[in-house]
Amino acid sequence: MPERRPARSTTTRLGAAPGPRISVVRCAVSLLLVLVGIAWIVVYVAMAGPTSDGTGLTWMSDLGRWSYVIGFGLIFIGLATAAHPGTPLGRGRGVVVGMLGCFLLGLVWIVTYYVVGQNADVPLLTDLSQYNLVVGIGFMAVGFVYATHWE
């Protein structure tokens, strides 16, 4: 009688390669970078920006426009690290969501600046003036990071 071997149990579908696992650390770092970038910009505009009275957070007000570079840089780096396949935004439909979200956010930022920012007194848009184009194009550049991961 031939010897019977036990069948192997597989949890993946036929032909589908097992994907990388979701990295909780990478997700947390990405989220933390984005939140710290947003908080940096909010604190600068509210307490140390050009329209403040100069009594609070003098070290931050001494940085001037570099505070915007730090804040938006943290946001862009956080979004770009979220494009890694170890995060939910870096795989499958998440790539499309991240890519289109960044493209649309950049477009809305530029359009909002041109429609509202030059005539209204919106603190962030008026402080950045023409650098709003850099911010909008930066969001679109992060969208291209997602586009390189699209299969």
pLDDT at 7: 58
Residue 9 lies in a domain: no
The amino acid that residue 80 corresponds to is A
In the chain, the N- to C-terminal Cα span, in Å, equals 49
Place of tokens 């940085």: 63
Place of tokens 């950049």: 106
pLDDT at 2: 65
Residue 16 lies in a domain: no
Place of tokens 């359009």: 111
Tell me the residue range of the domain where 142 lies: 24-147
Q: In this structure, what DSSP letter does residue 84 have?
A: S
Answer with the residue of higher pLDDT: 16 or 101.
101
Element (H, E) at 138: helix 132-147
Residue 5 lies in a domain: no
Structure tokens at 18: 């097992």
Residue 65 lies in a domain: yes
Residue 80 lies in a domain: yes
Residue 10 lies in a domain: no
Residue 42 lies in a domain: yes
- Report the candidate in 115, 102, 110 with the shortest Cα–Cα distance to residue 136: 110
**Tens of pLDDT along 120-144?**
788 888 888 889 999 999 999 999 9
pLDDT at 40: 93
**Tens of pLDDT along 51-109?**
666 677 788 878 888 999 999 999 999 999 998 888 888 888 888 999 999 999 999 99
**Tens of pLDDT along 21-48?**
888 899 999 999 999 999 999 998 888 7
d(C-alpha 29, C-alpha 135), whole Å? 22
pLDDT at 137: 96
12 pLDDT higher than 50: no
Residue 14 lies in a domain: no
Number of domains in the chain: 1
3-class secondary structure, 55: coil
